[in-house]
Amino acid sequence: MARTTDGYARTGLSPFLLVTDILIWCSAVIVMGIVSYFISTYYVGRHLIYIEVISVLTVAFFLASFLLGGSPGYSLLLNIIFSYLWLVAVVFTAESWSHPGAGALRHTVEAFSFIAFFLLVFNILHDWNLGFGGARTRSAV
């Protein structure tokens, strides 16, 4: 695969975006599994369904993102949309499960929801810099 002078591949994701996308996908899978367990075992509330839907959508769209490769505009839009969705999921989990008696699984969902949101914010900053910050003109001399 040909490389540019900056070290980024001309096609596909940069190494940073690839690693963070994998971590986001893994966090979403963990959240999806635990929340699915909660849905099958306990009372189902609206916040729980929202978190489940966001984690399932993240797993599906980021899997498609791995297969499609990363154009800066496409991945930036995907990261912006999912960062807002995960921000709401973090707020819902913090509101519902931040008390000490919530249990380890609920705190795990809260932690991995925050990890997904935090990495999405870093993806936005990195993708913005990659797409627009690196577009400065350079002299051939």
Interacting residues of 35 by C-beta distance below 8 A, sequence separation 6+: 48, 51, 52, 55, 109
Show pLDDT as tens, one digit a residue, over the chain (141 residues): 443 445 444 456 678 888 898 999 999 999 999 999 999 998 878 889 999 999 999 999 988 887 776 565 678 888 899 999 999 999 999 998 887 887 888 899 999 999 999 999 998 888 888 776 655 556 565
Number of other residues whose CB lies within 10 A of the CB of residue 91: 13
The DSSP annotation for 3-62 comes to: B-TTS-BSSS--HHHHHHHHHHHHHHHHHHHHHHHHHHHSPPPHHHHHHHHHHHHHHHHH
Interacting residues of 84 by C-beta distance below 8 A, sequence separation 6+: none
pLDDT at residue number 1: 41
Rounded Cα–Cα distance for residues 93 and 47 (Å)? 8
Gyration radius of the chain over CA positions: 18
**Where do the domains of the chain lie?**
24-131
Task: Report the length, in residues, of the chain.
Answer: 141
